[in-house]
A and B are shown apart, each in its own frame.
Chain A
Amino acid sequence: MAALLELADVDARYGPIQALHGVTLSVEEGEIAAVLGANGAGKTTTLRAISGTVRRDGTLRFAGRALHGGPDATARHGIAHVPEGRGTFAELSVWENLRLGAYSRRASKEDFARVQRYFPWIESRRSQQAGTLSGGEQQMLALARAFMQRPRLLLLDEPSLGLAPLLVTEIFRIIRELNEQEGLTVLVVEQNAHIALQLAQTAYVLEVGRVALAGPSAEVQQHESIRRSYLGY
């Protein structure tokens, strides 16, 4: 069976600077895949290339169809992208943020109920301005909004960024729940390799815009250089 998302030989550039050099990766339906790497390795750019927020070349296939067009078209195809820094609408209310998540389809009461099952605190904060939430709450709101999109694939960019360890654990627990109970496919970019490898079934390690290592998480975890450079043991 073909993978849900396939990238073959994808390049991406910011003006004259090439950030990705022939990246190839695939994400199976129902799995969690992680992209690891140092700062500037091209992790974020990989997600941007998928959602079309950066100029890219190469073959990108999603659910058997070629992906092209801008970020709005990608979103309508069923890919939700939670960017680095969360991308919540700080000026709008929590509730409006959720409604925006369901922008490209008709949202039902059920959708909101499901969101509340995973993020119970949201109900009591619905009319609060999103910008006044704490960092962890904003990250969860971004997740909840992406979930409202009912995506077939969720792209997550550094969900742990700037959060306290306890919150990071909480967020990754929710991601795992969404994956296991809702069958949500996730491609997560993470600086924190340790927690990402625990979560993901497959992992890709990027170095200066190229895939340096790929395979099941357990194997990647055992790899000598990974352990030294990212896991620290």
Chain B
Amino acid sequence: MLGLSRKTKVSTGASLPVIVGIAAACIFLLVGCLVSNIFAQQTVAGLAQGAIFASLALALVLIYRATEVINFAQGELAMATTYIAYQLTLWHVSYWLAFFLTLVISFVLGAVVYGVLIRPVQHRSVIALVIVTVGLFILIDGLVTWKWGADLKFMPAPFGNNVYHAGGVSFSRQDIGVLLVSILSVILLWVLFQFTKLGLAMRAAALRPAAAALVGIRVDWMLAIGWGLAAVLGAVAGLMTEPSQFLQPTMMQAILLYAFAAAVLGGLESPAGSVVGGLAIGVFLNLIGQYVGYATSELRLPIAFAVLLVVLLLKPTGLFGRRQVRRV
């Protein structure tokens, strides 16, 4: 690949104060972890949860960048694909084979959703797009409940229930596994976008569809692939959620909401931002829950959304967003 032969400059779009702030937060976390065992445990658990938020947030950002749609059905798509994996394990497919088969199925599903439902309304108002994804939300929810029922379902745990001890701190193998899988999928995606011809074409199609078509890119295909990849990320998020929550049709609803908050925190247009935003929100919620007595579990969602509102009002482009030169 020609692009690989040269050093490619990676710009995150974060301004200096933001980078300093993030660095300070990291140092704070590190010091906290060294001082207190409970703090360290909560931080790792928060990172694992945050990694799931980050995957789904990244899916939202991918779709927003490609088609300027906020996909309210992203979480439900993820939930549905997790049920597909569940069905596969019922048929005695091994966990990891089911995992990868599910990713393939989600890709197709995402691309088909784009082609059949989104493309016809793509150039209409924000409201029309929002409502179509809301309709999809309700539809998927209904289909899954109809097929598999609303009760809890169980799947074999991918990472087992072991706990590691390191210097008085215990980490569950589960959390570490979730963190690794989520981060790995994000990295793979980043490599795809930054270093391959397909990724470059997808970025071009999202940024300037008309100009992309003029160099021979099939823009519709690229957008469909974008939706497919987003669905794959969602499926990863769903499969990583399952071990801690079990399967039920509502499993991704709260997570989608946290992912919204994460995506806005990072800047709706910034993939790197959505990952940092997801991790930050996961850790923040866990630590607040641990140390601030007033912030009981009922306040988790309101707190996440207070973050979202504050970011929207103070810095609508998010931590990592640059001022957009919008095409008119």
Contact = CB atoms under 8 A, between A and B. Distances in A.
A and B touch in the complex (CB under 8 A): yes
Interface of A: 51, 53, 70-72, 75-76, 80-81, 83, 87-93, 95-96, 99-101, 103-104, 107, 109, 112, 126-127, 131, 145, 149
Given A89-B211, A92-B200, 16 more contacts: A53-B210, A72-B219, A75-B213, A80-B215, A83-B211, A93-B9, A95-B3, A95-B6, A96-B3, A96-B200, A99-B3, A100-B200, A100-B204, A103-B200, A107-B2, A112-B2
Contacts of B204: 89, 92, 100
B216 interface: yes
Q: Among B8, B210, B211, find the residue whose CB has the most chain A CB atoms closer than 10 A.
A: B211
Nearest to A90: B325
A90 B204 CA distance: 10
Interface centre among A101, A112, A126, A127 (most CB of B within 10 A): A127
Contact of A71 (B8, B200, B214): B214
29 contacts: A53-B214, A71-B214, A72-B213, A72-B216, A72-B217, A76-B216, A83-B211, A87-B208, A87-B214, A89-B207, A89-B211, A89-B212, A92-B203, A92-B207, A95-B3, A95-B6, A96-B3, A96-B200, A99-B2, A99-B3, A99-B200, A100-B200, A100-B217, A103-B197, A103-B215, A104-B215, A104-B216, A127-B7, A127-B8
Contacts of A76: 216
A51 B208 CA distance: 17
A149 B214 CA distance: 10
A70 B8 CA distance: 32
Of the listed residues B9, B210, B215, the one surrounded by the most CB atoms of chain A closer than 10 A to its CB is B215
B201 interface: yes
Contacts of A75: 213-216
A80 B216 CA distance: 9
A143 B323 CA distance: 28
B218 interface: yes
Interface on chain B toward A: helix, strand, loop, or mixed SS? helix
B8 A100 contact: no
Nearest to A142: B211
Contacts of B216: 72, 75-76, 103-104, 149
Contacts of B219: 72
Contacts of A127: 6-9
B214 A83 contact: yes
Nearest to A145: B215
Interface string B202-236: 01100110111111111100000000000000000
B107 to A, nearest CB: 22
Interface string B293-328: 000000000000000000000000000000001000
A218 B283 CA distance: 74
A30 B159 CA distance: 65
A6 B35 CA distance: 78
A145 B208 CA distance: 15
A88 B212 CA distance: 9
A51 B216 CA distance: 11
B2 A71 contact: no
A89 B216 CA distance: 14
A58 B145 CA distance: 54
A149 B2 contact: no
A106 to B, nearest CB: 9
Contacts of A70: 213
Contacts of B203: 92
B116 to A, nearest CB: 20
Contacts of B201: 100, 103
Nearest to A81: B214
Interface in B211-269: 211-219
A36 to B, nearest CB: 23
Contacts of A89: 204, 207-208, 211-212
Given A72-B219, A91-B207, A53 B213 contact: yes
Nearest to B1: A99
A75 B7 CA distance: 29
A126 B204 CA distance: 17
Contact of A51 (B9, B214, B218): B214
Given A76-B216, A99-B197, A88 B9 contact: no
Given A87-B208, A87-B210, A101 B215 contact: yes
A92 B3 CA distance: 13
Contact of B215 (A112, A131, A149): A149
A91 B211 CA distance: 12
Interface string B189-201: 0000000010011
A131 B325 contact: yes
Contact of A100 (B6, B7, B215, B325): B215
A139 B208 CA distance: 17
A86 to B, nearest CB: 9
Contacts of A109: 2
Among A90, A99, A112, max chain B CB count under 10 A is at A99
Closest 6 A-B residue pairs measured CB to CB?
A: A75-B216, A104-B216, A87-B211, A71-B213, A72-B213, A127-B9
